[in-house]
Amino acid sequence: MLFTPLQNLPCLSNEDYSAWALYMKCLGLQVDETLAQQMASFESVRNRPTAVWTSSSVQTNIFDGSFLSVFEVAFSANWPGAVPTSPTVGNLRGWWMVGLNVNLISSGAVTINTYRRIDLTISPPIGAPSSTPETVFTDNTWESNTANGENLLAAGTLYTTGSDSPSNSAGGAIFTAVHHNNAVSLNTTLTPAPTIWATYLGDTPEIQAVS
């Protein structure tokens, strides 16, 4: 039996030209396997690993430099392994889009024209070369004297190298630091609830092909 160089499809040779049954078996199995891989690839395009975490309780006493920490899984799809209860970038090499939305409201009187800022930070996995969390996105605004709170939203894409090649952001946890110069601490609200999300866009070659 001979085989084509790229797809490994069989054809009969001088030594086995009468082995039709074997030929059809080899060809059928190879076609089956190749098409199954192609179909899985197509299915993965419209079924990206995705997870959304939210918070069902108000977080209070958020001083300058505090981290939002109370999150639970709201929903997910096709995540690699079990979805962590804390927001995390999945351990897949490639591009991810991540986002954070939170409503921050003063726990007391607003200090007029003070800033509010959120930093979306990805921490490195255990064993990574650097142990310093990496801030990937930031949003900031100013609270006037309306005392109605400010909704902040940070979103964007980041690249991770996955577990095969540890980097600062491979499969790292997502943290959200809050910075402000309000005189008193801030609270979150549940309308809408604080939300963090991560969805896999694809590996580098696919991104290049699409663009």
Partner 1 sequence: MFATTPNFEIRYPCAGDTIDCDTFANFTNDIQAALDAVAVSETAALNRPNAKITENGAQTIAFNTTTDIQFHIEEYDNNGMADLAVNNERLTIQTAGIYMAEAYMSGNSSFTTVSSQAIALSQNGTIRYRKKDSNRSNLTSSIHVVGLFNCLVGDVLRAVYLWTGSGGPEGVFSCEFQARLVSLPD
The residues in 8-37 that bind partner 1, with binding defined as CB under 8 A, are: 20-21, 24-25, 27-29, 31-33, 35-36
* Selected binder of partner 1 within 141, 161, 163, 185 (CB under 8 A): 141
Identify which range of 2-10, 69-77, 130-138, 168-176 contacts partner 1 by CB under 8 A: 69-77
Q: How far apart are CA 134 and CA 120, in angstroms?
A: 9
Q: How far apart are CA 90 and CA 125, in angstroms?
A: 11
Q: Does 143 bind partner 1 (CB under 8 A)?
A: yes
State the nearest-atom distance from the C-beta of 204 to partner 1, in Å.
18
Q: Which is nearer to partner 1, 71 or 197 (CB)?
A: 197
**Burial class for 207, CB neighbours closer than 10 Å (0-12, 13-18, 19+):** middle
State the nearest-atom distance from the C-beta of 134 to partner 1, in Å.
21
Which parts of 123-194 are beta strand (E)?
A: 134-143, 150-160, 174-180, 186-188
Q: How far apart are CA 104 and CA 178, in angstroms?
A: 9
**Burial class for 102, CB neighbours closer than 10 Å (0-12, 13-18, 19+):** buried
Binding site for partner 1 (CB under 8 A): 20-21, 24-25, 27-29, 31-33, 35-36, 38-39, 42-43, 45-50, 52, 74-78, 97, 99, 101, 103, 141-144, 146, 148-153, 155, 191-192, 195, 197, 199
